[in-house]
Structures are given as structure tokens and as C-alpha cells.
Amino acid sequence: MHLHEVETIGRDALADLQVRALRATLERARRSPFYGRRLAESGLGPQDIRSPGDIRRLPVTTKDDLRAEYPFGLVTCPREELIRLHASSGTTGASTVVFHDRQDLDNWSDLVARCMYMVGMRPGDVFQNMTAYGLFTGGLGMHYGAERLGCLTVPAGPGNTQRQIKLIRDFGVTALHIIPSYALHFAGWLEREGIDPGELTPRIALIGAEPHTGEARSRIESLLDLKAYNSYGLSEMNGPGVAFECPEQQGMHLWEDAFLMEVVDPETLEPVPDGEPGELVLTTLQRHAMPILRYRTKDITRILPGDCACGRTHRRIDRITGRSDDMFIIKGVNIYPMQIERVLLGIPEVGQNYLIILDREQDIDQLRVKVEIKAEHYRDDPAAMAALHRHIIHRLRDELLVTPGLDLMPPRSLPEAQGKAQRVEDLRPR
């Protein structure tokens, strides 16, 4: 496994490659019932694609489309060619599913292996996969990538911190896949047990599966004494392996040979300029069994302008700052929960947990933030506490442009985030 030459391809050659891949994708997609109709209605055929931007002549595909076409409406091939599915795990309500054939799994494994290689993983590395296997795409996705790369893979699965530590020690684990909230929990556990992370062997953590801030990442890096790299993916686009940080840690290279990227205004669906936040819309360029065209990810990010010092030409996206459907509006200002996390975790006195409370008073939405203060800073000194309160309020107002309510809470008084963090309590009447 070497740095794939496609990662440093010139932009013009990349556009040519995308045009060819897009034509092939349309050719395959129209074999499915759903895109057969969509493409016929739009009148767009493979031969009409002359530049990557021509994809905009098609309507977007939404999660509701996937739900309506569940289970087989987007499948392009005979059933006996399918070898994997990943489905949303709910038992009630509408479901979504993604199918893969053998070549899809091969391509997916390659993309994940490229991410791992990019951040320095090599054969001889020992990779502990600390996330759930099964229908969740993060577990099997990273597992296949690490085996493709040739790392010794420890399929630990999630939870059982004591066992995780034993495995890390016994096998000299050098790289972890861990979700950010569990990484923070894990670091807290090490501290309580008096284990110095500097004595542990991991030097790399792949963190993804839930949006998190740069501040959360910095904490993970310093608490665990390793480098943590941000991973972006979603099950509709395979899972992990869509975009990943390089060693520069300045944004995530999105693999543009495998995915065509747009960033659009969530209201108008018009493209926003590079550098401006918008909703990420993705088109698969390699998928066989189930291509998806112009999928609205709901994830808010922006394209980072300029070249990356690492030399890769694939454009970078910023970390996900929210979901277009978890935005809320306070006093006319659009606010994403991730903005609040970014502020809070950048303040040294603030502990691991916080809660965002949305309520309504006299028909006006109100924002209140409860935040744990670290033990060494939570003191019986009203003046000091008032100063800290003012400081946090100022920082929040600078970021949000509104002034929220704020409660300073004693250490360990808020629910600890395990798994995907649930940090927002919405008490507004429906």
C-alpha cells in the first residue's frame, strides 16, 4: 500500500476522471427503479456530462427518498451480486439501507486504508477497533481498511474500559479507532486509575462517528498523549473513508476520486463560495450496487480554500459544525450546538460535560447552558466564581452573537456522555 498517485493528481486531470466516473455512475444508476425514473424525468444522460458541475442538472436525493425507496429501489444489480448491507437500526419508523457488491467493499476498504496510510499507519502497526461492529458502518468499515493496509487488527468492540487497556498493553497497540465522547471517558478513567497515558503505546487515534470540535480533539490528544485525526463519513456514502485529516490537521481531504462534492445553501440549494459554510452534498463516483446522486448529507461544513502543505490535491472540508436540521434560532441568529461546544472546550476551567437547554418563554426561544467546572476551579469563592461566569459568558457571546443563560455546575453533576453525545435538551412546546 503506497500513497496512491490519485491523491496528488492535478485538478484538471481530476476533473476528467470525475467526468468519466460520473458518466459510468449515471449509466449504472439508471438501472435502478428510482434513478431510472429520476434520470428519465430530468432528461440527463451519461453523454450530457461534460464537466463535474453538470451534476447540478439533477435534483438532490434526500433521506426521505431513501426511506420511500426502501429496501431495493436504488439497487442496480441482480440480488445475487450483493454481499453486504448496512441498515439504519430502528425498529419503528422508516428505515434506510445501503447495499454493496464485492467491488464496492473492495473500493471502500481501499478508501479507508488510504486514510490510515495518510496518517502514518503501516503494516506492523497494531490497530484496536474500539467501536461497535454490526450494522454500524464504523466498525466493519475501519476493520476492513486496517486489514487491507496490513495492520494487526484487534476487534475489541466498544466499552469495557478495563479490557481495552489490557488489550492495548498486552499487544502493544499503536493505533486506536474510538469515538470522541468515549475517548474523553477513557481518558477520565485512566486518570482515576492513576495510569499515565505516556506509558501506553498508542500514538494515533482515529476519531469520528460524531461531530466534535477542534477543542475536543486537542483535549483527547493531550489527555491520551497521541495524535488524533478526524474522520468523516456517513453510512449512505459507505461509512468511514469519505474525508480524513492528513498530518497537517488542517481540515479533512475529501477523496474526490470517489465522491463528487458540493457545498450548498440549505435553503436555496445554490452553491456557496469556497470558505463559506453550507450543507455538504455528495455523489458516489465508484459505487456499483447502489450509486447515490447528489445526496443531502445535512452536515454543515465549508470547503477550506487554498492548497494543503501535504501536497494532496483533493480539497479539504472543515470539521462538521452542525447538522442543517439541528440548527436553532435565538433572537434571529442561527446557532449550531457545535459552536457552543467549541467555545466551552476551549476554556481550561471547563470540565468534560455540558448541557444545552432550549426553552420558550412568552413565545420567545431561550438558550441556557449548564457547564461543569473542573474540581480544581470549582471553589467556595463567590468573587472568583462570578469572574469565571463573566468570562464564559463573554466567550459565548463573542461566538454566538447572543447572550445565553449560564449555570456553572460542580464537577460530575451532569450526565456523562457515553456513545453519541446527547447534549441538547429541547423543552420547547411542539
Give the nearest distance from C-beta 167 to a second copy in angstroms.
7
Nearer to a second copy, 95 or 339 (CB): 95
Q: How many residues make contact with a second copy (CB under 8 A)?
A: 45
The interface with a second copy within residues 107-136 (CB under 8 A) comprises 122-124, 132-135
Tell me if 157 contacts a second copy by CB under 8 A.
yes
Nearer to Zn ion, 6 or 152 (CB): 6
Element (DSSP H or E) covering residue 12: helix 11-29
Which partner in a second copy, Zn ion, none is near 71 (CB below 5 to 8 A by kind)? a second copy
Strands (E), 246-301: 252-254, 259-264, 278-284, 295-301
Tell me if 310 contacts Zn ion by CB under 5 A.
yes
In single-letter form, the type of residue at position 36 comes to G
Residues contacting residue 171 through CB under 8 Å, at least 6 positions apart: 126, 128, 152, 154
Q: Is the Cβ–Cβ distance between 224 and 161 less than 8 Å?
A: no
Question: How far is CA 376 from its chain centroid?
Answer: 33
Q: Pick from 151, 242, 258, 335 the residue near a second copy by CB under 8 A.
A: 151
Which partner in a second copy, Zn ion, none is near 48 (CB below 5 to 8 A by kind)? none
| Ramachandran sector of residue 269 (left: φ over 0; alpha: ψ -120 to 50; beta: rest) | left
Give the nearest distance from C-beta 155 to a second copy in angstroms.
5
Strand partners, 316: 253, 304
Tell me if 79 contacts a second copy by CB under 8 A.
yes
* Dist CA 196 CA 187 (whole Å): 10
Q: Pick from 207, 246, 345, 408 the residue near Zn ion by CB under 5 A.
A: 246
* Dist CA 395 CA 340 (whole Å): 10
Tell me if 150 contacts a second copy by CB under 8 A.
yes
* Dist CA 44 CA 22 (whole Å): 12
Nearer to Zn ion, 230 or 353 (CB): 230
Give the count of alpha carbons within 13 A of 428, CB side only: 18
Nearest to 425, CA basis, from 83, 158, 415, 95: 415
How many beta carbons lie within 10 A of that of residue 155, not counting itself? 16
Q: Pick from 56, 63, 67, 84 the residue near a second copy by CB under 8 A.
A: 84
Give the nearest distance from C-beta 287 to a second copy in angstroms.
16
User: Which position has the grid cell 495524535?
Assistant: 227
**Measured on CA atoms in the order 350, 416, 156, 242, is the torsion positive or negative?**
negative
Give the nearest distance from C-beta 88 to a second copy in angstroms.
10
Q: Pick from 70, 197, 250, 346 the residue near a second copy by CB under 8 A.
A: 70
Nearer to Zn ion, 5 or 361 (CB): 5
Tell me if 1 contacts a second copy by CB under 8 A.
no
Tell me if 192 contacts a second copy by CB under 8 A.
no
Strand partners, 333: 330
Tell me if 135 contacts Zn ion by CB under 5 A.
no
Candidates 217-225, 307-315, 320-328, 385-393; binding stretch for Zn ion (CB under 5 A): 307-315
Tell me if 2 contacts a second copy by CB under 8 A.
no
Q: Pick from 52, 73, 139, 337 the residue near a second copy by CB under 8 A.
A: 139
Nearest to 230, CA basis, from 238, 398, 215, 222: 215
Tell me if 147 contacts a second copy by CB under 8 A.
yes
Nearer to Zn ion, 149 or 246 (CB): 246
Strand partners, 334: 329
Q: Pick from 36, 155, 188, 419 the residue near a second copy by CB under 8 A.
A: 155
Tell me if 47 contacts a second copy by CB under 8 A.
no
Which set of grid coordinates corresponds to residue 425?
A: 435538551
* Dist CA 110 CA 265 (whole Å): 32
**Interface ranges with a second copy (CB under 8 A):** 70-71, 79-87, 89-91, 95, 97, 99, 102, 105, 122-124, 132-135, 139-140, 146-147, 150-157, 160, 162-163, 166-167, 170-171
